[in-house]
Amino acid sequence: MLKVNGIQAKTGWYLAGFTDGEGSFNVSFRARDDYSFPWKISLCFNISQRDPVILSLYKRHLECGTMRQRRDGVWYYEVNNLRAIRENVIPFFRRFGFLSAKKKRDFAKFRRVAEIIERGDHLTREGVEKIVGIRSDMNDGGKRKYSDEEILDRVEAWESSETTRQTAREGG
């Protein structure tokens, strides 16, 4: 059996195909009052199933992530650590890929947001605007806790208060 970075190719293609139908690549915004920036922007790869066997294959082959069981009995596998996403998840799915145009699109956008975060650009208004634009049609828009306008308004308010604090420190 052909092995790719220690992973049997057959298993890699199976997991990629399963993800194509059932997996999700997400970008989330969490409001933060105790942060130097008003948002914590996170990436997450996840997949859920009633049977934990397939999800344990992801954990074993991706060598990262966590599994847990929800109250309704459904098992949930997720990777939300940026380093694990950059070093394990992205290279795995770049190698094995997807067939559906939708999953290819969402994964490409997920990678673009990972690059923005890795550069630290997510801590600027321009970076947040880029991320908001990129994620707008990921997962067909999905349900969002915060609207794009709320996200950008909070950044604008933070910038305004930050300018006021800097002016006060400078004795202006």
Q: pLDDT tens digits for 64-113?
A: 999 999 999 999 999 999 999 999 999 999 999 999 999 999 999 999 99
Q: pLDDT tens digits for 109-156?
A: 999 999 999 999 999 999 999 999 999 888 776 678 888 999 999 998
Given a contact cutoff of 8 angstroms between Cβ atoms, the answer to whether 82 and 114 are in contact is yes
Q: List the CATH number of the domain containing 120.
A: 3.10.28.10
Q: How many folded domains does the chain comprise?
A: 1
- Rounded to two decimals, the pTM is 0.86
* Predicted local distance difference test score (pLDDT) of residue 1: 40
Going through the chain in order, the beta strands assigned E by DSSP cover: 3-4, 7-8, 24-31, 39-49, 66-69, 75-79
Residue 72, CA distances (Å) to 19, 46, 68, 76, 143 in order: 21, 17, 11, 11, 20
Segments forming the whole domain that contains residue 156:
3-169
